[in-house]
Chains A and B, each alone.
Chain A
C-alpha cells in the first residue's frame, strides 16, 4: 500500500475549513501512523508519496467533561464544537504568525511524541479544566525543524491558585520533554464567549455552553 493511501483519510485539504471532515480523528490517525511506520522502508523510497504543501494536519481536539459524572470523554464528531475548533486552530496559528506543519516522514516522530506529551498533560490536569484546544506549528519560518505545541486550557473561572497548579503541571511536562516547545495559555470561561475569545471571528457557536460540568 502506498503512503498516500495510508495518509489520505487524515490529511484533508486545508482550504476546506467549513467541513467537519477536516478535523483530525485521533484514534484512527494513530492507527494509520502506526501502520505507516511499520511499513515504510526509507525516506527516499517514499519521497514521491509525501503529502503536498497544500495539505495540513488537522490537530485540534477538544476534550470535555460530560454533564453526568464529569467523565472525561472525546467530543462527538458531529458537534459544532469541532467546526469551531478547526477554525480556532487556524486562527490561533495565523495570529501568532506561525504555520501549521505539513505531515512528512521527518516529523512523524514528533507527532507521536506530541501525542504522548498531551496524554501526560491530560492526565495531570483533566480534573481541573473544562477543555483543551491545541495545535502544532513551526516556531518560525527560519527554524523549520522546531515545532511548538500550543493552545488554550480552559478553566471554569478566574482562580490564581488553580492557574498556578496547571502551570506547575505544564512545567513538569516541559522538564520531562525538553525537546518540545509548549505554548499553552490558561483562560477562564465564566462570563466569556470563548469562541469569540479564542478566534475572534466565530459568532455563531458558543461551543462551551452545552458542556460546562
Chain B
C-alpha cells in the first residue's frame, strides 16, 4: 500500500506520460490512453481516501463505493475512467474505447478528478 505522497507521485507520473507521449499516438492506441488515464485517477483517489478518510482499498468495487460516498462530485468522472480502462484491458481491440472517448477522458474526466483531489491536498 502506498502513502499519500507516493500515490500522488504515481498519479502525476502517469498524467505526464499521457500528455507527453501517449496523446501523440491516441489515433492508433486510444486504449492505452484510457488505461493510463484510469490508473492516474486511481492514484489520485487513493491519495485522497488515505489522507482524509484513512482508507486503503485493494478491490475496485470497494474503492468505487468509497468514491461514491466520500467524493460524490467526481464519482461520474471516476466511473467513466474506470469503464474506459476496463474495456481497454479486458475487451476485444474492436470494442476498446475510440479515439474520441479516449480524448474526452483526458480533456474532461481526468482533470476533474485531479483538480478535486489537489484542491483538498493543500
Task: List chain A positions with a Cβ less than 8 A from chain B.
Answer: 95, 139-140, 148, 150, 158, 160, 163-165, 167-168, 170-171, 174-175, 178, 181-183, 185-187, 192, 196-197, 200
- Asked if B92 and A171 sit within 8 Å, CB to CB, the answer is no
Q: Which of A140, A160, A178, A183 has a CB less than 8 Å from the CB of B64?
A: A183
- Asked if B68 and A171 sit within 8 Å, CB to CB, the answer is yes
Majority DSSP secondary structure for residues of B touching A: helix
30 examples of A-B residue contacts, CB within 8 angstroms: A140-B59, A148-B61, A158-B98, A158-B100, A163-B80, A164-B77, A164-B80, A167-B75, A167-B76, A170-B68, A170-B75, A170-B79, A171-B76, A174-B64, A174-B65, A174-B68, A181-B59, A181-B61, A182-B64, A182-B65, A183-B61, A183-B64, A185-B87, A186-B79, A186-B83, A187-B83, A187-B87, A196-B92, A197-B95, A200-B91
Q: In the assembly, what is the distance between CA of A187 and CA of B60, in Å? A: 18
Which residues between 47 and 70 of chain B lie within 8 Å of chain A, taking CB atoms?
59-62, 64-65, 68-69
- Asked if B108 and A160 sit within 8 Å, CB to CB, the answer is yes
Task: Provide the B74-86 mask, 1 if CB < 8 A to any CB of A, else 0.
Answer: 0111011001001
- Known pairs A170-B79, A181-B61, A182-B65 / 14 extra A-B pairs, C-beta < 8 Å: A139-B62, A160-B80, A160-B108, A164-B77, A165-B76, A167-B76, A171-B76, A174-B65, A174-B68, A181-B65, A185-B86, A186-B83, A197-B91, A200-B92
Give every chain B residue within 8 A of A182 (Cβ-Cβ): 61, 64-65
Number of interface residues, chain B, beta carbon within 8 A: 26
- Asked if A168 and B98 sit within 8 Å, CB to CB, the answer is no
- Asked if A178 and B65 sit within 8 Å, CB to CB, the answer is yes
Q: In the assembly, what is the distance between CA of A175 and CA of B66, in Å? A: 9
Give every chain A residue within 8 A of B60 (Cβ-Cβ): 183
Give every chain A residue within 8 A of B100 (Cβ-Cβ): 158
Closest to A181 in B: B61
Shortest Cβ distance from residue B62 to the other chain A in the assembled complex, whole angstroms: 6
- Asked if A95 and B68 sit within 8 Å, CB to CB, the answer is no
Give every chain B residue within 8 A of A178 (Cβ-Cβ): 65, 69
Most chain-B Cβ atoms within 10 A of its Cβ — which of A170, A174, A200?
A: A174
